[in-house]
């Protein structure tokens, strides 16, 4: 009898082992999404960074913070000022013990650029917007312009590498990267978490956008360009298939003109500052405020123009807002 009980116990133990083994087998998990606790759990990213600092034994100066769904990698200044150490925080699921957390390091980390002094890429940890990463992701995700909602693939914090005028580093910034397999997008943040710019060229919406034809981007453009405000400095606004160009007079010196360009990626300087001779400067009545343009009326304006032309296959290629030099009046759209 005891032998039969031992045999049954042994068989149950073997069965349990195979159940656990099957659950851990890659074939049973191939369709299971990768865990993303750092992107899902408020405060966990800040907690991971704090745990790494505690393991190091001091508040480190860092060269890189790289956050993936369940892993955070940090490059910190090592025992010698020009050394970089790599530390990794990992949250995983154990076979028997459930969720586990590991901290690995230090390992040797390579500098951003071998020819740069490693101390120039360091920045402090204070002020990083990691206390509520899920809320940050929710706030900036619309700027990624993905067809379907998705969590980022990675969040990377480091100083920007500048190549103009020699290799050097700029301000630290946060790069949030999405890659769904069908689309990719980047949103760049300042260290306070505010959006600086983006690169959405890898999205379906950006590939198919025609600004002179479509309308869904207009509220975003109006919001980004609203900093011009009510100041009467605008000379010309051109809406073309891929961008919106604004020519304006420098508010600090009305003898100078320059330009800004808006795309789905954000704002950039479009034209150098040019000195205008007094004989070429437009009179005050030829400039207008950006708020004089009602972006909400553009869809109806395009429809009216096409209806008036009334030719099959016709499309709007450009919309221009300016005050004609030969007359005085409100900005005209032509």
Q: What is the mean pLDDT of each run of 10 residues along the chain (334 residues)?
A: 51 44 43 76 94 92 94 94 94 73 93 77 86 95 94 94 73 95 96 92 90 82 84 86 86 77 86 65 72 85 86 84 63 53
Into how many domains does the chain fold?
2
Predicted TM-score (pTM) of the model is 0.76
Q: How far apart (Å, rounded) are the C-alpha atoms in residues 105 and 62?
A: 14
Q: Which of 144, 172, 204 is the last residue of a domain?
A: 204
Same domain, 82 and 163: yes
Q: 84-87: long-range contacts at Cβ-Cβ below 8 A with a sequence spacing of 24 or more?
A: 84/108, 84/109, 84/110, 84/111, 84/118, 85/109, 87/52, 87/55, 87/56
Question: Which of 158, 184, 204 represents a domain boundary (last residue)?
Answer: 204
Domain that holds residue 269: 209-333
Is residue 269 domain-shared with residue 150, that is, in the same domain?
no
94 lies in the same domain as 177: yes
Q: Is residue 16 one of the residues assigned to a domain?
A: no
- What is the SS3 assignment for 327? coil
- Count of positions (residues) in the chain: 334
Same domain, 146 and 263: no
Residue 143 domain flag? yes
Q: Are residues 183 and 217 in the same domain?
A: no
**Residue 173 per-residue DSSP state:** E
Distance CA 307, CA 317 (A): 15
Given 140, 170, 204, the domain boundary residue is: 204
Q: Would you say residue 9 lies in a domain?
A: no
Looking at the fold, whether 199 and 315 belong to one and the same domain comes out as: no
The predicted structure's pLDDT at residue 257: 82
């Amino acid at each position: 009898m005891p032998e039969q009980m031992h045999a049954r116990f042994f068989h149950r133990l073997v069965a349990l082992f195979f159940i656990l083994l099957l659950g851990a087998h890659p074939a049973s998990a191939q369709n299971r999404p990768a865990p993303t606790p750092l992107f899902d759990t408020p405060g966990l990213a800040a907690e991971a960074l704090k745990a790494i600092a505690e393991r190091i034994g001091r508040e480190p100066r860092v060269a890189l913070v790289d956050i993936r769904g369940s892993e955070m990698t940090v490059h910190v200044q090592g025992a010698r000022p020009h050394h970089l150490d790599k530390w990794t925080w990992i949250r995983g699921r154990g076979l028997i013990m459930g969720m586990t957390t590991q901290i690995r390091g230090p390992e040797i980390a390579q500098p951003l650029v071998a020819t740069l002094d490693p101390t120039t890429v360091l920045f402090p940890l204070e002020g990083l917007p990691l206390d509520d990463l899920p809320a940050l992701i929710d706030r900036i995700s619309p700027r990624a312009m993905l067809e379907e909602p998705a969590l980022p693939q990675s969040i990377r914090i480091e100083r920007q590498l500048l190549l103009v005028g020699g290799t050097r580093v700029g301000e630290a910034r946060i790069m949030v990267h999405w890659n769904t397999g069908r689309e990719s997008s980047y949103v760049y943040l300042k260290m306070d978490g505010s959006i600086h710019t983006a690169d959405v060229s890898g999205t379906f919406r950006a590939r198919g956008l025609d600004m002179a034809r479509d309308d869904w981007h207009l509220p975003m453009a109006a919001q980004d360009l609203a900093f011009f405000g009510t100041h009467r400095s605008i000379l010309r606004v051109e809406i073309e298939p891929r961008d919106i160009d604004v020519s304006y007079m420098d508010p600090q010196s009305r003898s100078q003109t320059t330009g800004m360009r808006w795309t789905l990626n954000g704002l950039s300087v479009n034209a150098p500052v040019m000195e205008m001779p007094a004989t070429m400067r437009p009179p005050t009545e030829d400039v207008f405020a950006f708020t004089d343009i009602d972006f909400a009326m553009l869809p109806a304006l395009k429809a009216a123009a096409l209806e008036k032309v009334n030719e099959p296959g016709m499309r709007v290629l450009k919309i221009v807002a300016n005050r004609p030099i030969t007359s005085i009046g409100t900005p005209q759209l032509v």
